A = this chain, B = another copy of it.
Amino acid sequence: MAKAKRTLKWQRDPEGMRLRILEAAKQEFSAHGLAGARVDRIAAKAGANKRMLYYHVGNKDELYLAVLEGAYDKIRSEERGLDLEHLDPPEAIRRLIEFTWNYFLRNPEFLSLLQTENLARAKHLKKSTKVKSMHSPFVEMIRTVVRRGVDSGDFQVAVDPVQLYISIAALSFFYLSNSATLSVIFGRDLLDKKAKDERLAHMVGLVLAALTGQSVALFDVAKAPKSRSAVVQTA
């Protein structure tokens, strides 16, 4: 029986191992934060020995930074895949909001990692030349979309693209990253299907109404209480 595993003891797989380590580390750091993460758990989750972490990546901090850089790399790459240039301005903004919302939904660890890094006042990020060089294409996309919208008359006002970018991210990010406490406070599950649909509709409606000056149907009219619902619809 001791012989059974003779030929199958283990095989080398440096690249695979490195990937499994980073994936496990991502899970661990996003689930427990930097201080709460346990190096041993990462090793176990990666199906590896603790020594492997140090061999393939580095100590806990380097591991964390690698994960963070990977997270930024991933979102930037997906962002680049979204081209809003050829859409008409309101549709482009809608797509942008939907992308942001869905990306955050699909990648909850990204939210956690950002929260963790901000609690650390971006101490690690500041040291990463890699991340600093990864500019989001969205700011420029927004700048041209807003300009086109203003020129075409779709938008009533020109907005600073950085502010708008932050606001769009904020509306999704806060809702999701704080859904746990908010759900307790409001006594309802903010993450069930219906609530999520309503949230997306609200965000799109809010931003488009602000930009175009016209109330979008989606801007949650249905839920309006009591009052004889003075719904002013888009002309």
Contacts and interface: CB of A to CB of B under 8 A. Distances in A.
Interface residues on A, range: 35 or more
Interface in A173-218: 173-175, 177-187, 198-199, 202-203, 205-207, 209-211, 213-215
A9 to B, nearest CB: 36
A62 B98 CA distance: 40
Contacts of A167: 171, 202-203, 206
Contacts of A205: 157, 210
Interface stretch (A11-19, A41-49, A112-120): A112-120
Given A159-B202, A202-B163, A213-B232, A180 B33 contact: no
A223 interface: yes
A198 B163 contact: yes
A85 interface: no
A224 interface: yes
Given A125-B181, A202-B167, A226 B136 contact: no
